[in-house]
Chains A and B, each alone.
Chain A
Amino acid sequence: MFLFLILLFSFISPPQIFSQEATTVTDKTQVILDKVKQIVIGKETTIISNGPKSLVGTITQIDNNQITVSYKNEPKTVAVTEETVFIDIKRNKTKIDNLKSGQDILAMGYFDQYDNFEAKRIVVTDLKTVENKNEIILGKIVDISQSSPIFVLIPIKNKDNQYQIKTDPKTEILDKDIDKLKSGQKIVVIIQPDPKIAKTFYVSKIITLDSPTAQTPETSTNN
Protein backbone atom coordinates (compact mmCIF):
# COMPACT_ATOMS: atom_id res chain seq x y z
CA MET A 1 0.00 0.00 0.00
CA PHE A 2 2.91 2.30 0.82
CA LEU A 3 4.38 1.50 -2.56
CA PHE A 4 1.02 2.20 -4.16
CA LEU A 5 0.87 5.61 -2.50
CA ILE A 6 4.40 6.44 -3.64
CA LEU A 7 3.40 5.47 -7.18
CA LEU A 8 0.34 7.70 -6.96
CA PHE A 9 2.41 10.69 -5.80
CA SER A 10 4.91 10.12 -8.57
CA PHE A 11 2.00 10.48 -11.03
CA ILE A 12 0.81 13.62 -9.32
CA SER A 13 4.18 15.38 -9.19
CA PRO A 14 4.79 16.04 -12.94
CA PRO A 15 1.87 18.47 -13.46
CA GLN A 16 3.18 20.60 -10.59
CA ILE A 17 6.61 20.72 -12.18
CA PHE A 18 5.08 21.63 -15.54
CA SER A 19 3.07 24.48 -14.01
CA GLN A 20 6.22 25.84 -12.32
CA GLU A 21 8.04 25.59 -15.63
CA ALA A 22 5.19 27.38 -17.40
CA THR A 23 5.39 30.23 -14.90
CA THR A 24 9.16 30.35 -15.24
CA VAL A 25 8.92 30.41 -19.03
CA THR A 26 6.40 33.28 -18.86
CA ASP A 27 8.66 35.19 -16.48
CA LYS A 28 11.68 34.56 -18.68
CA THR A 29 9.76 35.71 -21.76
CA GLN A 30 8.84 38.92 -19.95
CA VAL A 31 12.47 39.43 -18.90
CA ILE A 32 13.64 38.91 -22.49
CA LEU A 33 10.97 41.32 -23.79
CA ASP A 34 12.06 43.93 -21.25
CA LYS A 35 15.71 43.46 -22.23
CA VAL A 36 14.87 43.83 -25.94
CA LYS A 37 12.84 46.96 -25.16
CA GLN A 38 15.77 48.41 -23.18
CA ILE A 39 18.19 47.60 -25.99
CA VAL A 40 15.91 49.24 -28.58
CA ILE A 41 15.40 52.33 -26.40
CA GLY A 42 19.12 52.41 -25.61
CA LYS A 43 20.05 52.30 -29.29
CA GLU A 44 17.61 55.08 -30.10
CA THR A 45 19.03 57.21 -27.28
CA THR A 46 22.57 56.56 -28.50
CA ILE A 47 21.71 57.69 -31.99
CA ILE A 48 19.94 60.83 -30.79
CA SER A 49 22.64 61.60 -28.19
CA ASN A 50 25.09 62.40 -30.98
CA GLY A 51 23.18 65.58 -31.77
CA PRO A 52 23.71 69.01 -30.24
CA LYS A 53 22.29 69.69 -26.80
CA SER A 54 21.39 72.78 -24.85
CA LEU A 55 21.62 73.86 -21.24
CA VAL A 56 19.92 76.85 -19.70
CA GLY A 57 20.41 78.50 -16.36
CA THR A 58 21.46 81.50 -14.36
CA ILE A 59 25.19 82.11 -14.12
CA THR A 60 26.50 81.50 -10.61
CA GLN A 61 30.22 81.43 -11.33
CA ILE A 62 32.59 82.23 -14.19
CA ASP A 63 36.10 80.77 -14.31
CA ASN A 64 38.61 80.90 -17.16
CA ASN A 65 37.24 78.10 -19.25
CA GLN A 66 34.17 77.21 -17.29
CA ILE A 67 30.78 78.72 -16.50
CA THR A 68 28.58 77.32 -13.74
CA VAL A 69 24.87 77.82 -14.15
CA SER A 70 21.92 76.91 -11.97
CA TYR A 71 18.53 75.86 -13.31
CA LYS A 72 15.75 74.79 -10.95
CA ASN A 73 18.33 74.68 -8.15
CA GLU A 74 20.46 72.22 -10.08
CA PRO A 75 24.03 73.37 -10.82
CA LYS A 76 25.53 72.56 -14.21
CA THR A 77 28.96 73.22 -15.64
CA VAL A 78 29.53 74.56 -19.14
CA ALA A 79 33.02 74.35 -20.61
CA VAL A 80 34.02 77.10 -23.06
CA THR A 81 36.80 77.13 -25.63
CA GLU A 82 38.33 79.71 -27.96
CA GLU A 83 35.82 78.60 -30.58
CA THR A 84 32.79 79.28 -28.39
CA VAL A 85 30.64 82.10 -29.80
CA PHE A 86 29.01 84.47 -27.28
CA ILE A 87 25.85 86.40 -28.17
CA ASP A 88 24.44 89.14 -25.93
CA ILE A 89 20.78 89.82 -25.22
CA LYS A 90 20.60 92.23 -28.22
CA ARG A 91 21.85 89.44 -30.48
CA ASN A 92 25.29 90.97 -30.96
CA LYS A 93 28.55 89.06 -30.60
CA THR A 94 30.23 89.55 -27.27
CA LYS A 95 32.99 88.05 -25.08
CA ILE A 96 33.05 85.88 -21.99
CA ASP A 97 34.41 88.87 -20.05
CA ASN A 98 31.07 90.64 -20.53
CA LEU A 99 29.10 87.86 -18.88
CA LYS A 100 28.13 88.36 -15.24
CA SER A 101 26.73 86.28 -12.42
CA GLY A 102 22.95 86.49 -12.33
CA GLN A 103 22.56 86.57 -16.10
CA ASP A 104 20.53 83.85 -17.77
CA ILE A 105 22.20 81.99 -20.61
CA LEU A 106 21.30 79.38 -23.19
CA ALA A 107 24.34 77.26 -23.99
CA MET A 108 24.35 75.03 -27.07
CA GLY A 109 27.00 72.40 -27.65
CA TYR A 110 27.86 68.76 -27.14
CA PHE A 111 28.37 66.32 -24.30
CA ASP A 112 31.63 64.38 -24.51
CA GLN A 113 32.07 60.73 -23.57
CA TYR A 114 32.62 61.70 -19.92
CA ASP A 115 29.34 63.66 -19.87
CA ASN A 116 31.10 67.04 -19.82
CA PHE A 117 29.27 69.75 -21.72
CA GLU A 118 31.31 71.88 -24.13
CA ALA A 119 29.52 74.94 -25.45
CA LYS A 120 29.80 75.99 -29.08
CA ARG A 121 27.42 78.91 -28.70
CA ILE A 122 26.26 80.80 -25.63
CA VAL A 123 23.32 83.19 -25.93
CA VAL A 124 22.41 85.60 -23.13
CA THR A 125 18.68 85.29 -22.62
CA ASP A 126 15.92 86.10 -20.15
CA LEU A 127 14.42 82.92 -18.78
CA LYS A 128 11.31 84.80 -17.59
CA THR A 129 10.35 85.52 -21.20
CA VAL A 130 10.57 81.85 -22.21
CA GLU A 131 8.80 80.51 -19.14
CA ASN A 132 5.89 78.19 -19.90
CA LYS A 133 3.11 79.46 -17.64
CA ASN A 134 0.47 77.18 -19.14
CA GLU A 135 -1.35 74.80 -16.82
CA ILE A 136 -3.29 71.88 -18.24
CA ILE A 137 -6.24 70.98 -16.03
CA LEU A 138 -8.81 68.22 -16.36
CA GLY A 139 -11.95 69.19 -14.51
CA LYS A 140 -15.69 69.69 -14.40
CA ILE A 141 -17.51 72.96 -14.89
CA VAL A 142 -19.45 73.70 -11.72
CA ASP A 143 -20.74 77.19 -12.48
CA ILE A 144 -21.07 79.42 -15.52
CA SER A 145 -21.59 83.15 -15.12
CA GLN A 146 -24.53 84.54 -17.11
CA SER A 147 -23.27 88.13 -16.94
CA SER A 148 -19.56 87.68 -17.74
CA PRO A 149 -17.43 85.25 -19.74
CA ILE A 150 -16.31 83.40 -16.63
CA PHE A 151 -16.84 79.85 -15.43
CA VAL A 152 -15.65 77.88 -12.41
CA LEU A 153 -13.81 74.60 -12.86
CA ILE A 154 -13.04 71.96 -10.22
CA PRO A 155 -10.24 69.50 -11.07
CA ILE A 156 -11.42 65.89 -11.32
CA LYS A 157 -8.60 64.63 -9.08
CA ASN A 158 -8.38 67.50 -6.62
CA LYS A 159 -11.82 68.63 -5.62
CA ASP A 160 -10.43 70.95 -2.91
CA ASN A 161 -9.16 73.25 -5.63
CA GLN A 162 -11.18 75.44 -7.91
CA TYR A 163 -10.29 77.71 -10.80
CA GLN A 164 -12.11 80.84 -11.87
CA ILE A 165 -11.58 80.82 -15.61
CA LYS A 166 -12.09 83.65 -18.07
CA THR A 167 -12.73 83.17 -21.77
CA ASP A 168 -12.32 85.72 -24.55
CA PRO A 169 -12.90 85.74 -28.33
CA LYS A 170 -9.45 84.20 -28.86
CA THR A 171 -10.27 81.18 -26.69
CA GLU A 172 -10.28 78.10 -28.88
CA ILE A 173 -12.74 75.37 -28.11
CA LEU A 174 -12.60 71.98 -29.78
CA ASP A 175 -15.85 70.42 -30.97
CA LYS A 176 -18.27 72.91 -29.42
CA ASP A 177 -19.20 76.57 -29.20
CA ILE A 178 -18.36 78.35 -25.97
CA ASP A 179 -22.08 79.20 -25.61
CA LYS A 180 -22.85 75.47 -25.42
CA LEU A 181 -20.67 74.81 -22.36
CA LYS A 182 -22.77 73.50 -19.49
CA SER A 183 -22.38 72.90 -15.78
CA GLY A 184 -21.24 69.35 -15.05
CA GLN A 185 -19.38 69.10 -18.33
CA LYS A 186 -15.95 67.43 -18.25
CA ILE A 187 -13.30 69.45 -20.04
CA VAL A 188 -9.56 69.94 -20.36
CA VAL A 189 -8.43 73.56 -20.20
CA ILE A 190 -5.09 75.15 -20.98
CA ILE A 191 -4.91 78.16 -18.68
CA GLN A 192 -2.56 80.92 -17.63
CA PRO A 193 -2.82 83.15 -14.55
CA ASP A 194 -4.49 86.46 -15.39
CA PRO A 195 -1.93 89.12 -14.35
CA LYS A 196 -4.70 91.67 -13.77
CA ILE A 197 -7.13 89.70 -11.61
CA ALA A 198 -5.96 87.57 -8.68
CA LYS A 199 -6.98 83.91 -8.60
CA THR A 200 -8.40 84.19 -12.11
CA PHE A 201 -7.05 82.36 -15.11
CA TYR A 202 -7.29 83.08 -18.80
CA VAL A 203 -8.14 80.02 -20.90
CA SER A 204 -6.50 79.70 -24.30
CA LYS A 205 -8.01 76.34 -25.24
CA ILE A 206 -10.87 74.11 -24.13
CA ILE A 207 -11.14 70.44 -25.08
CA THR A 208 -14.52 68.88 -24.31
CA LEU A 209 -14.38 65.23 -23.32
CA ASP A 210 -18.00 64.19 -23.10
CA SER A 211 -18.92 64.54 -26.76
CA PRO A 212 -18.26 61.64 -29.14
CA THR A 213 -16.09 63.71 -31.50
CA ALA A 214 -13.92 64.94 -28.63
CA GLN A 215 -12.45 61.46 -28.34
CA THR A 216 -10.43 62.05 -31.48
CA PRO A 217 -9.33 65.68 -31.33
CA GLU A 218 -7.14 66.82 -34.18
CA THR A 219 -3.78 68.40 -33.68
CA SER A 220 -4.23 72.13 -33.57
CA THR A 221 -2.75 75.29 -32.19
CA ASN A 222 -4.27 77.96 -30.05
CA ASN A 223 -2.49 80.82 -31.75
Chain B
Amino acid sequence: MIKELFLAIALGSILGFGVTGAFFALNKNKTTPKQNLSEISPTPTITEIQMSTEVTTTPAVSSTETSINITSPENNAVVSNSKISIKGDSKPNSLIVISTPTKTFSDKANANGIFSISIELDSGFNLIKINSIDPEDNQSEIELNLTYSTAKI
Protein backbone atom coordinates (compact mmCIF):
# COMPACT_ATOMS: atom_id res chain seq x y z
CA MET B 1 0.00 0.00 0.00
CA ILE B 2 2.79 2.39 0.99
CA LYS B 3 4.71 1.42 -2.12
CA GLU B 4 1.69 2.29 -4.30
CA LEU B 5 1.24 5.60 -2.48
CA PHE B 6 4.88 6.61 -3.12
CA LEU B 7 4.52 5.52 -6.72
CA ALA B 8 1.39 7.66 -7.08
CA ILE B 9 3.17 10.68 -5.52
CA ALA B 10 6.19 10.18 -7.78
CA LEU B 11 4.05 9.90 -10.90
CA GLY B 12 1.98 12.88 -9.80
CA SER B 13 5.14 14.93 -9.21
CA ILE B 14 6.53 14.04 -12.62
CA LEU B 15 3.23 14.90 -14.27
CA GLY B 16 2.93 18.08 -12.22
CA PHE B 17 6.44 19.29 -12.97
CA GLY B 18 5.90 18.39 -16.62
CA VAL B 19 2.76 20.52 -16.79
CA THR B 20 4.53 23.31 -14.88
CA GLY B 21 7.49 23.22 -17.24
CA ALA B 22 5.24 23.29 -20.27
CA PHE B 23 3.27 26.20 -18.76
CA PHE B 24 6.42 28.27 -18.10
CA ALA B 25 7.75 27.49 -21.55
CA LEU B 26 4.51 28.73 -23.13
CA ASN B 27 4.54 31.87 -20.97
CA LYS B 28 8.12 32.61 -21.93
CA ASN B 29 7.28 32.32 -25.62
CA LYS B 30 4.37 34.70 -25.19
CA THR B 31 6.38 37.39 -23.39
CA THR B 32 9.57 37.25 -25.46
CA PRO B 33 8.16 38.87 -28.63
CA LYS B 34 6.77 41.77 -26.57
CA GLN B 35 10.17 42.46 -25.09
CA ASN B 36 11.77 42.29 -28.50
CA LEU B 37 9.28 44.77 -29.92
CA SER B 38 10.00 47.31 -27.23
CA GLU B 39 13.70 46.86 -27.72
CA ILE B 40 13.49 47.18 -31.48
CA SER B 41 11.15 50.15 -31.69
CA PRO B 42 13.75 52.92 -31.07
CA THR B 43 15.84 51.58 -33.96
CA PRO B 44 13.52 51.30 -36.95
CA THR B 45 13.52 48.16 -39.02
CA ILE B 46 13.87 48.26 -42.78
CA THR B 47 10.09 48.07 -43.13
CA GLU B 48 9.66 51.01 -40.75
CA ILE B 49 12.20 53.07 -42.66
CA GLN B 50 10.39 52.32 -45.90
CA MET B 51 7.08 53.33 -44.34
CA SER B 52 8.50 56.61 -43.09
CA THR B 53 10.02 57.19 -46.51
CA GLU B 54 6.56 57.12 -48.03
CA VAL B 55 5.48 59.80 -45.60
CA THR B 56 8.46 62.06 -46.00
CA THR B 57 8.73 62.05 -49.79
CA THR B 58 5.60 64.18 -49.85
CA PRO B 59 6.15 66.49 -46.90
CA ALA B 60 2.87 67.32 -45.21
CA VAL B 61 2.22 70.79 -43.93
CA SER B 62 1.37 70.83 -40.23
CA SER B 63 0.67 67.13 -40.45
CA THR B 64 0.56 64.87 -37.43
CA GLU B 65 2.69 62.37 -39.35
CA THR B 66 5.71 64.66 -39.25
CA SER B 67 8.40 64.00 -36.70
CA ILE B 68 8.78 67.67 -35.86
CA ASN B 69 6.76 69.64 -33.35
CA ILE B 70 6.96 73.36 -32.61
CA THR B 71 6.26 74.37 -29.02
CA SER B 72 6.98 78.09 -29.35
CA PRO B 73 5.93 80.45 -30.82
CA GLU B 74 2.40 79.48 -31.70
CA ASN B 75 1.31 79.40 -35.33
CA ASN B 76 -0.07 82.77 -36.56
CA ALA B 77 1.46 84.64 -33.62
CA VAL B 78 2.24 88.34 -33.95
CA VAL B 79 5.60 89.23 -32.42
CA SER B 80 7.05 92.67 -31.74
CA ASN B 81 10.71 91.64 -31.96
CA SER B 82 12.34 90.58 -35.21
CA LYS B 83 14.69 88.19 -33.40
CA ILE B 84 12.88 85.22 -31.91
CA SER B 85 13.66 81.64 -30.94
CA ILE B 86 11.92 78.73 -32.60
CA LYS B 87 11.60 75.99 -29.99
CA GLY B 88 10.43 72.47 -30.51
CA ASP B 89 11.26 68.81 -30.58
CA SER B 90 12.10 66.27 -33.22
CA LYS B 91 13.97 62.99 -33.41
CA PRO B 92 17.26 62.93 -31.48
CA ASN B 93 20.25 64.58 -33.20
CA SER B 94 18.18 65.71 -36.18
CA LEU B 95 19.41 68.55 -38.35
CA ILE B 96 16.87 71.38 -38.18
CA VAL B 97 16.76 73.80 -41.11
CA ILE B 98 14.52 76.86 -40.84
CA SER B 99 13.80 78.98 -43.88
CA THR B 100 12.10 82.38 -43.91
CA PRO B 101 11.36 83.97 -47.31
CA THR B 102 14.79 85.68 -47.25
CA LYS B 103 16.99 83.86 -44.74
CA THR B 104 17.99 80.36 -43.70
CA PHE B 105 19.02 79.11 -40.27
CA SER B 106 20.20 75.69 -39.19
CA ASP B 107 21.20 73.87 -36.04
CA LYS B 108 21.01 70.44 -34.52
CA ALA B 109 18.48 68.98 -32.07
CA ASN B 110 20.06 67.53 -28.93
CA ALA B 111 20.12 63.87 -27.89
CA ASN B 112 16.54 64.22 -26.63
CA GLY B 113 15.39 65.82 -29.87
CA ILE B 114 14.92 69.26 -28.30
CA PHE B 115 15.99 72.35 -30.25
CA SER B 116 15.91 76.12 -29.89
CA ILE B 117 17.07 78.15 -32.86
CA SER B 118 17.26 81.94 -33.03
CA ILE B 119 15.96 83.39 -36.26
CA GLU B 120 15.35 86.84 -37.67
CA LEU B 121 11.99 87.73 -39.19
CA ASP B 122 11.23 90.13 -42.01
CA SER B 123 8.79 92.92 -41.39
CA GLY B 124 5.16 91.81 -41.80
CA PHE B 125 3.97 88.32 -42.61
CA ASN B 126 6.55 85.49 -42.63
CA LEU B 127 5.82 82.04 -43.99
CA ILE B 128 8.45 79.88 -42.31
CA LYS B 129 9.39 76.39 -43.44
CA ILE B 130 10.92 74.16 -40.78
CA ASN B 131 12.63 70.95 -41.86
CA SER B 132 13.93 68.13 -39.73
CA ILE B 133 16.39 65.59 -41.13
CA ASP B 134 17.08 62.71 -38.78
CA PRO B 135 20.23 60.53 -38.76
CA GLU B 136 18.36 57.93 -40.88
CA ASP B 137 17.83 60.59 -43.60
CA ASN B 138 14.10 60.90 -42.97
CA GLN B 139 12.94 64.41 -43.75
CA SER B 140 9.87 66.14 -42.33
CA GLU B 141 8.60 69.63 -42.99
CA ILE B 142 6.07 71.86 -41.28
CA GLU B 143 5.10 75.45 -41.90
CA LEU B 144 4.74 78.21 -39.36
CA ASN B 145 3.08 81.58 -40.01
CA LEU B 146 4.53 84.44 -37.98
CA THR B 147 3.99 88.17 -38.26
CA TYR B 148 6.53 90.72 -37.12
CA SER B 149 4.95 94.07 -36.38
CA THR B 150 5.87 96.89 -34.01
CA ALA B 151 2.43 98.45 -34.36
CA LYS B 152 0.26 98.50 -31.26
CA ILE B 153 -2.24 95.66 -31.61
Contact = CB atoms under 8 A, between A and B. Distances in A.
Given A51-B78, A54-B78, A190-B99, A220 B151 contact: no
Contacts of B139: 136, 138, 156-157
A41 interface: yes
A1 B12 contact: yes
A186 B133 CA distance: 12
**Interface on chain A toward B: helix, strand, loop, or mixed SS?**
mixed
Name the residue among A15, A45, A120, A190 with the largest chain B CB count within 10 angstroms. A190
Closest 8 CB pairs of A and B: A54-B147, A52-B78, A1-B12, A52-B153, A132-B127, A134-B99, A136-B131, A8-B16
19 contacts: A4-B9, A5-B19, A48-B73, A51-B78, A53-B78, A54-B76, A54-B149, A56-B125, A108-B78, A108-B149, A120-B153, A130-B125, A138-B139, A157-B53, A157-B137, A188-B133, A204-B104, A205-B104, A216-B108
Interface of B: 8-9, 11-13, 15-17, 19-20, 23-24, 27, 31, 53, 56-57, 71-74, 76-78, 93, 95, 97, 99-108, 117-118, 120, 122, 124-129, 131, 133, 137-139, 141, 145, 147, 149, 151, 153
Given A108-B149, A223-B102, 14 more contacts: A1-B9, A1-B11, A12-B23, A41-B71, A52-B78, A53-B77, A54-B77, A55-B76, A123-B124, A127-B125, A136-B131, A156-B137, A157-B57, A220-B105
